[in-house]
Chains A and B, each alone.
Chain A
Amino acid sequence: MKNNWFMRAAFPVFGLPVLCLLLFATMPASAQVDDQGAAIFSRNCAVCHGGDGKGSDRGPAIATEPSVIAMSDADLLSVLHNGAAGGMPAFPQFNNQQAQTVVKYLRQLQGVTGAGPYGSQPVGDAGVGKAIFFGKGGCSQCHMINGQGGFLAPDLTSYGRSRDAAAILQAIVNPDTKLQPAWRGAEVQTRSGEKISGVVRTEDNLQIVLQSQDGRYHFFDRSNLAAVNYVNHSLMPVDYATRLNTKELDDLVAYLVVIGRNATPEPPPTHRQRLGHD
């Protein structure tokens, strides 16, 4: 499962009286975009796969499709050079350096960090990690795995599918390093002085919608608000490095990796063929 949260970068949330919010960045590993990779992608790939790699009528969502994320760099380079069934053309004009730059940029779009999904292996005990996730860690108060847990933070069922253990550990202990502005919490104040806070679910220049802890959406015209204060940091607690010991962190990481790699692969996105008559 992927929802739009999953696409939306870091998770600065607030307004939650919880002990622990385990929040993972899901967007590019680095805020530094590789200019050459981005330029090549934009000119050659985006026409079918979209500028963000999330697909279009002409090509699949290579930034989010698990089977693409799970491919090795070598396989991706091969597809780029040789093309693939289903209409993916070959790009033999790219030299090796250029091709590697494109793959590196795609990895950023995928949010894949470190050595990739088949890089470092977890050393912890996934069973113990599960108990931490749903217990001491308090992670499940905001995150869901296989239908169990909270809803304010991204579903982590398949999170570990495309990330290696070292990267997951970094996301737990350093949540603020990968903040993205696309998704954040806010507190609004009405002109009568009332305040409400929640996670920003959608907004534009005129309106803002917050979701509060009880799941309710709150709809506001900005013209009715005296102030909108965004929280420009992750509410993911920053003290996991000390709150959980090394063994517990390894166990938690192992649980996320094992669950992710066991997650049911989604059907690959392809195109509708016809309008049925029934």
Chain B
Amino acid sequence: MARYGKQICGYAATILLVAGAIAAHARTGPDGLQDHSAAISSSELGLVDVQQSDLLQKQAMDNWISYNGDYTGRRFSSLNQITPANVSHLAAKWIFHTQNPGVLEVTPVVVNGVMFITGSNDAYALDAETGRLLWHHERGISNGLVDDASGHINRGVAVLGARVYMETDNAHLLCLDARSGNLIWDRAYATDNKNYGATSAPLIVKNLVLVGTSGGDDGVRGFLAAFDAQTGNEVWRFWTIPAPGEFGSESWPGDMYKHGCAATWMLGTYDPEMNTLYWGTGNPCPDFDGRVRPGDDLYTSSLLALNPDTGKLKWYFQFSPHNMYDYDAVQTPVLVDAKFKGAPRKLVVTANRNGFLYILDRTNGKYLYSKQFIQSLNWAKGIDKNGRPISNNLVPDETGVTVCPSYGGGTNWYSPSYDPETNTFYFRSLDACTLFRAKTQPFEEGETYYATGARRPPGNLPSTGYINAFDLSTLDFTWRDRQIGERHASAGVMSTAGGLIAFGNDAEEFEVDDARTGKPLWAFNLGQAVHASPMSYGIGGKQYFAVAAGDNVIAFALP
């Protein structure tokens, strides 16, 4: 025994006997949140050991267990301490500076008072009450990447057991020890085209870690892959561009299927009762030149319903067939159980980059409803009874054609939110247009594959951002709040049981509004652009909001 042997034994006994009894809330008072049935107990605070039952929780309470807070993707917190009546007292509690030279797009995940964030290829564990660093997994960024991957964007982690999973800019899946940040394993999962990258957070379903890729404007062949969370072995892979001879392959002559994109660059949602995974796909490639990919270009700009055990396709719904305007369909497909036209239905609701909000029956992919939310929309006359757009045949050429919504989309990857208490769907939109030009170009590894360009069109066309509240009962907007500020934020929305929505606004502020009316109630000047979606968590009876801004993560709470 080492010279400290006696002491070691004594300490060990102390840990074993006292750890559970020690007031883990030693730093905070016992004042619980209202209706706070799932608060962290003192025996759980500080312990990261995420079980399947945690992932299956239907309410996001103290823990924000995954990127969207729960499997439905609704980004709704059941915490209700912060309300319209007291939000004026909200104040910054801490700032964590990552020293990442870029702009963070991460949504923090919080497990029992421990926050996990990412910035580029780095992961951090923080004390969620103070923002102080517990560990830092440092990994240099990759050179030689293309387009979005070369921006080294990372949107966060997934957690299972005592393990943290993240993607890297060059499409590796990392498994880290949640207690130390040590690397447990590292799997390169997209190696046959260097235009692949990854920017998303992974999604855990059962014992699988699900990952997609970026490169969706760069001539990659999209896929969704599932890895065993324990071993890191690949279990299945679903290609989002069919191979020659497969259903839908008529759009991909020759080896075009290898470069058709339909990238899976945001994470999907999961219905445990239906045992179905819902995952959106990106635009086709080349983005603006449709002549080389005739037909609908399956499965681009689509929502896929997959069996998570096998990766087999159950159904698909294509929002924008043969798209030529970069209209990805990776916006969060939010799972909603609600009455639709009087009858209870299992719905999937999504505001699409193409400027329409869609409601589908998620049991079979049947189109139920759509609503145009971009006033200037001109690429389609409308949506037919089967959900297919009625195209206006605006074809980009070398001169260019003006199309609305813009290149950035009527909405985009930043989160929407669904409040089950008001049956309202909240999302950010951007009413703007782009001049698209096209020129046939060959695919070249190491180069983007837009073929060719997009820019702001001449003339006084709109460029207006909104936060929207769409009532799924009345199928109409409850309110639309025009955003004021110098630049359009790429910032998601969340809602809470306190009757609030929260988001980064166009004036580089974190803003909280009354969810029922859209009335702005409070804002904090972050002084940095928000390119991320917020979340909420609780510790010791206190509700927090957290959001990434610039290269910082900032947390807010009542005094």
A residues sitting closer than 8 Å to B (CB atoms) are: 1-5, 14-21, 56-57, 64-65, 144, 147, 151-152, 155, 157, 187, 190, 194-198, 201-202, 204, 207, 209, 211-221, 224, 233, 235, 237-239, 264, 266-278
Contact = CB atoms under 8 A, between A and B. Distances in A.
A81 B166 CA distance: 40
Shortest 5 CB-CB contacts between residues of A and residues of B: A276-B148, A276-B151, A237-B2, A15-B11, A217-B46
A1 B182 contact: yes
A187 B113 CA distance: 21
B24 to A, nearest CB: 7
Contacts of A219: 24, 26-27, 45-46, 113, 127, 129
Given A155-B180, A219-B24, A264 B1 contact: no
Interface string B480-520: 00000000000000000000000000000000000000000
Given A5-B180, A151-B179, A270-B141, 16 more contacts: A17-B12, A147-B184, A187-B11, A194-B22, A194-B23, A196-B19, A202-B132, A202-B134, A216-B47, A233-B4, A268-B143, A272-B101, A273-B151, A274-B151, A275-B531, A278-B148
A214 B47 contact: yes
B265 A278 contact: yes
B2 A275 contact: no
Given A3-B137, A215-B48, A151 B113 contact: no
Given A209-B134, A219-B45, A144 B24 contact: no
A276 B132 CA distance: 29
B179 A195 contact: no
B251 interface: no
A259 to B, nearest CB: 13
A264 B120 CA distance: 19
B21 interface: yes
B134 A217 contact: yes
B395 to A, nearest CB: 22
Q: Chain B contact residues: over half helix, strand or loop, or mixed?
A: loop
A14 B135 CA distance: 19
B408 interface: yes
Contacts of A207: 27, 130, 132
Nearest to A1: B183
- Residue from A4, A224, A271, A278 with most neighbouring chain B CB atoms (10 Å): A278
Contacts, number: 207
B214 A220 contact: no
B2 A239 contact: yes
A57 B132 contact: no
Contact of B162 (A4, A56, A215, A269): A215
B8 interface: yes
A144 B19 CA distance: 24
A191 to B, nearest CB: 10
A273 B148 CA distance: 10
B175 interface: yes
21 contacts: A4-B138, A16-B11, A17-B8, A147-B185, A196-B15, A202-B127, A212-B15, A219-B129, A220-B26, A220-B27, A221-B27, A224-B27, A233-B4, A235-B2, A235-B4, A271-B141, A272-B120, A273-B152, A274-B151, A276-B199, A278-B412
Contacts of B24: 218-219
A225 to B, nearest CB: 8
A64 B2 contact: no
Contacts of B170: 267
Contacts of A216: 19, 46-47
B27 A278 contact: no
Between B47, B138, B147, B216, the greatest number of chain A beta carbons within 10 A of the residue's beta carbon is seen for B138
Nearest to B170: A267
